[in-house]
Structure 1
């Protein structure tokens, strides 16, 4: 085993570690792949890796609200600390990027296999991406990697997009090519393909997608008659209605019931969120609350609620922000992100619940619309794990008012016709008596 060594800055070719950056494979977004070739003192490769990654981080602001920040390595990546390891230190793959962010993974092996062991990620909220963050400075999370053992002297490959969630951070990885414990300084020509790639065949059906998913990078989906995403045909079936809740200690602090259907411009069909495969997380506060729904580690939706004071000296809550991430498992495309922090919907009195049984559409961006069905939500002041009295949404109220108004108008019209008829009939009768 080579002894531990480190490279001075700036990088140079004779150095023990080389960090190369290359553009990633084409997709809807052009992104950068990180390529690292870790070498020992003899300039022999001991770890080789090339992959794409991004991070979605939820943080608290000074106003006790919660926002999301997205980070991804770009061309200013460095590699300090990457090492081949020795008898006392495990091999380590480490990178640094942006304004004080870093990520690393170490490796262990047996007589036949190797695997990633522990991932460490540090993000710095002094970065401009964390605008108005309540806590400033570096924050580190550590997680045991879930990578399965890989045969020694083989290259691990996985185009499938995968994610790891810990604390307030979601880590996304795709297009991974990796070999640790490289023998004789030469990267192997033998592959170990991840199970997710083995189980993916084209055409394929993913989650609740009910139609064939095309190869989006080589055969873009276009139609002459309906080029706009808003004209995409919906599945015949409505989404399943899910019941979601959050707890603060042993008390329920948020209740939500709804069916969710996503209209993503980059997807060929609408996506139904399946409550049976959806994980619930988030946070409750006095003036801000977040409900996060994660469906099969493929879709992530954050609903942010806030409290406002009205001119009548009363408090109301409303949906203020929606953030969305879609992980694509086709051709290693970069995750699709969309968000809107300037909403003002689902508005009702604090201490009440908001209800709308009819379909509603939340316009997040031009590329994302969320359709809700049988919605009921209460993000604050939940008592005894039950919804408070509900305030119906205006479309439902209007649906009752319109028939009543139309009925009243028709009734009035009939009454006028009858009055006119009797008046006219009476005049004709009087005229007949005078002639006699």
Structure 2
């Protein structure tokens, strides 16, 4: 995290804001903007890519896609004041920039507009461009969100303007944050609210009139592997059982690996495994590196259909599960619970994961969970106790037999 202190602005105090800097190689761009009182005023997390159509010196046309932004900066991002609304500004590459402007009404705030500037002088990306210079496209957006709610849109959103196509997904943003606390109440985009291409299948959902879900059988174990240019980079195998409570109705869902698709990505500091099916729009497991020598499960995001056809979504990026050294895997055969929120938990069975440093497509030596370690410790203890008891029985039998033998040879 890097903090910047800006010079005073007329009519406003000294502004201090902190940026979570990172490259697009991470799971998502993330910005946490704070004011002079060190309270969060704007929070955003998202992924994006750009497709640009341009004319070459040979009078032909080429298309380039920019998805790897390299290292980004956020200079010019502001909380806003009475004269100027909040703004996100991102700079990357050689002369590339992206800006989002927000406005406020009585009970709503809006994502008002998005602009993108690209530099055709960049000979690496546009080596044969006919026109050299910085070009800008502006797109009015006008997405209205109730104050003190956070906007979420995991579906892909597209903006097209002339020769530029912009795509955004996994968007999470809140401007005009109240009292420095990012809201947990979500305002979903229309694409996340309904799905016209996939009808929810709910035969594996068991509703209950109370908050106690109906017990289900142990889920099947699924095997998942993610690859990048260097081969397999993430391995996971686990049985998954989802526990959801909404409106005092509890549901238990066993994930069937035979009807579940998966995707993901691997980066130096983060790794993602995403599952989806006819019921689950997405279930994300996000792993991170800590202290440069260990990994752990940092984040879980889920959006799924419930028995009544409504969509349940929740996210938590402040978890700490499945901790193990880098270069090893994490294993837990016993049932384990990942508590994402008060209304959503994941039970895992026969779990083994390795999101970093996979060699030759195989798991490395496993660090076992405490439940498995205790079991492994109890087994030799039980065997030892049984052997000790057997020795005592043999010894007593021997002594009784010897005593009887002496009695038989007594003189008359």
Return the TM-score normalized by structure 1. 0.49
- Could you list the per-position Cα deviations for residues 187-242 of structure 1 after superposition, in whole angstroms to 9, with x for gaps in the alignment? xxxxxxx967xx97xxxxx43633676xxxxxxx42xxxx342x4221x4623523
Offset, 1:371:
2.0
1:76 is matched with which residue? 108
Secondary structure, in 3 states, of the residue corresponding to 1:406? helix
Change (3 A) 1:403 1:366: same
Verify: 1:367 aligned to 2:343, yes or no.
yes
2:235 is matched with: 255
Q: Deviations over 1:88-143 (max 9, x none)?
A: xxxx9833446998999999xxxxxxxxx9998997687659x99xxxxxxxxxxx
Match of 2:225 among 244, 253, 277: 244
Does the residue aligned with 1:210 lie in a helix, a strand or coil? Answer: coil
Change (3 A) 1:61 1:435: farther
* Aligned-residue offset at 1:425: 4.6
Q: Distance in 1 between matches of 2:270 and 2:408?
A: 80
Any conservation in 2 of the 1:246–1:253 contact (CA below 8 Å)? yes
Counterpart of 2:272 in 1: which secondary structure? Answer: strand
- Count of equivalent residues: 276
- CA displacement, residues 251-310 of structure 1 (integer Å, 9 cap, x when unaligned): 33222222222111236542122445544344433333332323337342222323344x
Q: Report the equivalent of 1:186.
A: none
Whether contact under 8 Å (1:242, 1:257) holds in the other structure is yes
Displacement of 1:405: 1.9
Match of 2:331 in 1: 355
1:296 is the counterpart of 2:328: no
Looking at structure 2, the residues matched to 407 and 207 of structure 1 have their Cα atoms a distance apart, in angstroms, of 48
Q: 2:312: which partner in 1?
A: 335
Tell me the equivalent position of 1:389: 365
Give me the whole-angstrom Cα distance separating, in 2, the residues matched to 1:424 and 1:125: 83
**Structure 2: runs of 5+ lacking an equivalent:** 1-26, 33-42, 47-103, 114-139, 182-187
Structure 1 residue 358: Cα displacement: 4.2
8 Å CA contact 1:307–1:315 kept in 2: the answer is yes
The secondary structure found in structure 2 opposite 1:238 is: coil
1:207 to 198, 201, 206: 201
Counterpart position of 1:5: none
**Inter-partner Cα distance in structure 1 for 2:112 and 2:375:** 64
Instruction: Tell me, yes or no, if structure 1 residue 94 matches structure 2 residue 74.
Output: no
* 1:241–1:348 CA distance, 2 compared to 1 (3 A): same
Partner of 1:172: helix, strand, or coil? Answer: helix
Task: Provide the residue aligned with 2:78 in structure 1.
Answer: none
Alpha-carbon distance between aligned partners in 2 of 1:120 and 1:392, rounded to the nearest angstrom: 39
Aligned to 1:406: 382
Alignment of 1:218-237 (within 5 A): 221-222=208-209, 227-229=210-212, 231-234=213-216, 236=217
Equivalent of residue 302 in structure 2, options 324, 333, 336: 324
Q: After TM superposition, list the pairs within 5 Å mapping 1:119-130 onto structure 2.
A: none
Residue 318 of structure 1 and its aligned partner are, at CA, apart by 2.4
Task: Specify whether residues 211 and 391 from structure 1 end up closer, same or farther in structure 2 by C-alpha distance, changes over 3 A only.
Answer: closer
Question: What is the root-mean-square deviation of aligned Cα atoms in Å?
Answer: 5.0
Q: What TM-score results when the alignment is normalised by the length of structure 2?
A: 0.51
Deviation at 1:353, TM superposition (A): 1.7
